[in-house]
A and B are shown apart, each in its own frame.
Chain A
């Protein structure tokens, strides 16, 4: 790591030479040379003329705040936290970190805790706290959430758009399935069987992963989480599924920094202990992995934060580094009737981690499917963003380019790693949306 990178990564340890105060985000702000490339990559600024863009939200607003006589501009709430600006910046300015910090401060100091916006955002960002209740009565919840009267009330009272269909809650959560299946012990057995079949040593402590499934694949799309478990076991990995909370992604995006801090602390403590024992952490949602790998180390310094970040990987990424995934896929096939042409959208948070090309690259080798990249635009939903009544139109305008490119694909099946991108893809085109792990499951697991 160069001296400069070290500076921008550990600003909390630096001090202003005159005041002796911590440097905070100063070095990052000074690194901005106003090339404006971030502004040209911002999907919100592209469709919303009232949004001043990441260069303002980040380094410029930070400077304005230095003297303390400026409020945070309320436009910070229109940032969708897609983090594309981070990837665009040629100068390592920590833009999304600045946005998260500013948004947290805005919500703390300038937003009324009694306002509809605050209450709505708090509910949306704490979906993981409500989901357990809903999933106790999944059929009833699905029925009630689908009622037009529910949507009407949500729209009028809560400011949650009635244009979207609430995702169904699964009748059995992933963790219920996991426990019923025998948890870690069963996983260990299956992994050992697979290793023996592959001609590897049955005992292998290196092949242990801890799964960060996140709330969505637990409550809404357990088939993705089950696919993860089966695929990893197939390659001889023992899977552990520890208790966990929401990654914090929706909380960062809504400036609910206290909620996010509590969730992050729990997750870091849990997973750091497993990393200590030799586990690597695997995610199947690119926003979850983004949180563990980037937002946690940018915002927190709990013991083990850096260790968790350095040992967290996306499912496909991990397998492709450690196994001959491409080779095995080349020798396999999936039913063309089920998969066939897949309109693949790379989530912004995959792009930011350098993972946007891998699904198409890997699955191109597989018989029975033909993944087609639908371009590098943002899907527009950005988690909770597209659920807000006042953001719905912006969200759909951003998504337009992706919908168009999806329509160009012959079949009516899409693919992505991000559950909310999947919602948006389905909402805009009616396509059925699959996760790459489901394709792997079909191809590789007997």
Chain B
């Protein structure tokens, strides 16, 4: 009858994809429901586990987990869960950082340093712990990255020389050309016009033209940092050509959306999900559920302009994100989890939800569902809301993942553990 799977995962971000993969690898038939394209394309592509605790930078997340409050998601899954999450990630993505437990320090596009556990190979030569002199290259039309400003900020914290230069991207692209358009031009090494001689226009492959533009600015730099746009499908080839022509190492600085490292990671997850046999349905939101005779969830319902389609399963995992991801909703009256109406505790007086300063310690940042050690959402009596529902990633409360720099780690660890547990319930 109908559309039926063992485990149904709601949410197609990092937490949802991790859960689905984890459950499928344990042998379950898994359905992943995602309202829209994966949120990974909005993510930097860095995998943070724990970067800050109470404002202090963390050098080794694993030594710090035990100091977190008991209700923190990391305490629910334990150090083993966090390690399992990273192991799953390492099996999917071709990333650097798995050689150590310690955080790496990655320069950001604003010229800050971010502690992170895993980073794309294309970002690796740029680490701040590496003391080689650096040139940052930005482009006039890629306005999200101002290389001279980023270099100026970086100089305040790093022990090496950093300079920044803004160039025009070679070729005659639109002033508002999308970052993906430029990335694809580099992927394909399209020929671009580089001026004319004796009235005959001259053209060159874009990677070569780019290297030629940079040469006069190279100076003593031993590595060059670009905004993350060096190809979507063939970043290795783009970097290799630039490195050969410039004779220095080339790296990428993670950027905001639309994020090429995020898209590349999304592609890697998608092929892992496909290989594991996960059935993905995208395009409509889950808005409701149906319950069986024993009070358990029997199906979740997606809706499109009034037409409701049920997806049946034995086990369900909620991976819909936090306030920004719309997994948690709020209005003047209160805060709720909109699909299952799981309890989300919040002060009754909404003026207590936030503090005055933008970067203060806000209560709202820790809003989310409360879970037991099985990761099942709990009601106000401390009992599981449903026996067959788990929650993972951003929808979980009791952690401020933005301040902690722990969003990816929470998604990976809770997703891996919940996927395994859900699958174990179906195939004991």
Residues of A within 8 A of B (CB): 1-3, 35-37, 39-41, 45-46, 49-50, 52-53, 56, 87-90, 293-294, 297, 306-307, 309-313, 317, 320-322, 324, 351-358, 361
Complex alpha-carbon distance, A46 and B233, angstroms: 14
Q: Is the CB of A36 within 8 A of B258?
A: yes
Complex alpha-carbon distance, A103 and B287, angstroms: 32
Would A89 and B304 be within 8 Å (CB), given that A3-B331, A36-B258, A40-B258 are in contact?
A: no
Would A37 and B307 be within 8 Å (CB), given that A3-B331, A52-B174, A89-B36 are in contact?
A: no
Interface size class of B (residues with CB under 8 A): 35 or more
Q: Is the CB of B283 within 8 A of A2?
A: no
Q: In the assembled complex, which residues on chain A have CB atoms less than 8 Å from the CB atom of B39?
A: 90
Q: Is the CB of A45 within 8 A of B2?
A: no
Q: Is the CB of B176 within 8 A of A312?
A: no
Complex alpha-carbon distance, A294 and B284, angstroms: 12
Beyond contacts A309-B306, A352-B283: 16 other A-B pairs, Cβ-Cβ < 8 A, are: A2-B329, A37-B37, A39-B180, A46-B184, A49-B177, A87-B36, A88-B37, A90-B36, A90-B39, A293-B307, A311-B306, A322-B2, A353-B284, A354-B284, A355-B283, A357-B279
Complex alpha-carbon distance, A309 and B174, angstroms: 40
7 contacts between A and B (CB under 8 A): A37-B37, A49-B174, A49-B181, A311-B307, A312-B307, A351-B283, A357-B282
Task: Across the A-B interface, give the 4 residue pairs with the lowest CB-CB distance, nearest first.
Answer: A310-B306, A354-B283, A40-B180, A35-B257
Q: Is the CB of A356 within 8 A of B282?
A: yes
Task: Name the one of A39, A293, A322 contacting B304, with C-beta atoms under 8 angstroms.
Answer: A293
Q: In the assembled complex, which residues on chain A have CB atoms less than 8 Å from the CB atom of B284?
A: 353-354
Q: Is the CB of B283 within 8 A of A37?
A: no
Q: In the assembled complex, which residues on chain B have CB atoms less than 8 Å from the CB atom of A354?
A: 281-284, 302, 304
Q: Is the CB of A46 within 8 A of B181?
A: yes
Q: In the assembled complex, which residues on chain B have CB atoms less than 8 Å from the CB atom of A293?
A: 304-305, 307
Q: Is the CB of B257 within 8 A of A36?
A: yes
Q: Is B167 an interface residue (CB 8 A)?
A: no
Q: In the assembled complex, which residues on chain B have CB atoms less than 8 Å from the CB atom of A39?
A: 178, 180, 258
Q: Is the CB of A294 within 8 A of B305?
A: yes
Task: Give the Cβ gap from B368 to chain A, nearest Cβ, in Å.
Answer: 18
Task: Name the one of B42, B279, B302 contacting A35, with C-beta atoms under 8 angstroms.
Answer: B42
Q: Is B27 an interface residue (CB 8 A)?
A: no
Q: Is B173 an interface residue (CB 8 A)?
A: yes
Q: Which of A37, A312, A313 has the most CB of B within 10 A?
A: A37
Q: Is the CB of A37 within 8 A of B41?
A: yes
Task: Give the Cβ gap from A28 to chain B, nearest Cβ, in Å.
Answer: 15
> Would you list which residues of chain B between 231 and 281 have a CB under 8 Å from chain A?
257-258, 263, 279-281
Q: In the assembled complex, which residues on chain B have CB atoms less than 8 Å from the CB atom of A88?
A: 36-37
Complex alpha-carbon distance, A352 and B305, angstroms: 12
Q: In the assembled complex, which residues on chain B have CB atoms less than 8 Å from the CB atom of A40?
A: 41, 178-180, 258, 263
> Would you list which residues of chain B between 355 and 372 have a CB under 8 Å from chain A?
none
Complex alpha-carbon distance, A266 and B181, angstroms: 43
Complex alpha-carbon distance, A335 and B348, angstroms: 65
Task: Give the Cβ gap from A36 to chain B, nearest Cβ, in Å.
Answer: 5
Q: Is the CB of B2 within 8 A of A320?
A: yes
Complex alpha-carbon distance, A40 and B40, angstroms: 14
Q: In the assembled complex, which residues on chain A have CB atoms less than 8 Å from the CB atom of B174?
A: 49-50, 52
Task: Give the Cβ gap from B11 to chain A, nearest Cβ, in Å.
Answer: 13
Q: Is the CB of B257 within 8 A of A309?
A: no
Q: Is B67 an interface residue (CB 8 A)?
A: no
Complex alpha-carbon distance, A53 and B258, angstroms: 14
Q: Is B309 an interface residue (CB 8 A)?
A: yes
Q: Is the CB of B338 within 8 A of A317?
A: no
> Would you list which residues of chain B between 332 and 352 have a CB under 8 Å from chain A?
338
Complex alpha-carbon distance, A321 and B309, angstroms: 7
Complex alpha-carbon distance, A320 and B5, angstroms: 13
Complex alpha-carbon distance, A94 and B411, angstroms: 30
> Would you list which residues of chain B between 278 and 317 have a CB under 8 Å from chain A?
279-284, 287, 302, 304-307, 309-310
Q: Is the CB of A87 within 8 A of B177?
A: no
Task: Give the Cβ gap from A150 to chain B, nearest Cβ, in Å.
Answer: 38
Would A2 and B37 be within 8 Å (CB), given that A36-B257, A293-B307, A320-B2 are in contact?
A: no
Would A49 and B173 be within 8 Å (CB), given that A87-B283, A306-B306 are in contact?
A: yes
Q: In the assembled complex, which residues on chain B have CB atoms less than 8 Å from the CB atom of A89?
A: 36
Q: Is the CB of B306 within 8 A of A37?
A: no
Q: In the assembled complex, which residues on chain B have CB atoms less than 8 Å from the CB atom of A356?
A: 282-283
Complex alpha-carbon distance, A50 and B181, angstroms: 12
> Would you list which residues of chain B between 1 and 42 have a CB under 8 Å from chain A?
1-3, 36-37, 39, 41-42
Would A37 and B305 be within 8 Å (CB), given that A90-B36, A321-B310, A354-B283 are in contact?
A: no
Task: Give the Cβ gap from A414 to chain B, nearest Cβ, in Å.
Answer: 20
Q: In the assembled complex, which residues on chain B have CB atoms less than 8 Å from the CB atom of A313?
A: 307
Complex alpha-carbon distance, A32 and B263, angstroms: 20
Complex alpha-carbon distance, A45 and B257, angstroms: 17
Would A309 and B177 be within 8 Å (CB), given that A35-B42, A36-B257, A321-B2 are in contact?
A: no
Task: Name the one of A41, A90, A312, A353 contacting B42, with C-beta atoms under 8 angstroms.
Answer: A90
Would A37 and B181 be within 8 Å (CB), given that A293-B305, A353-B283, A354-B281 are in contact?
A: no
Q: In the assembled complex, which residues on chain B have CB atoms less than 8 Å from the CB atom of A3?
A: 331
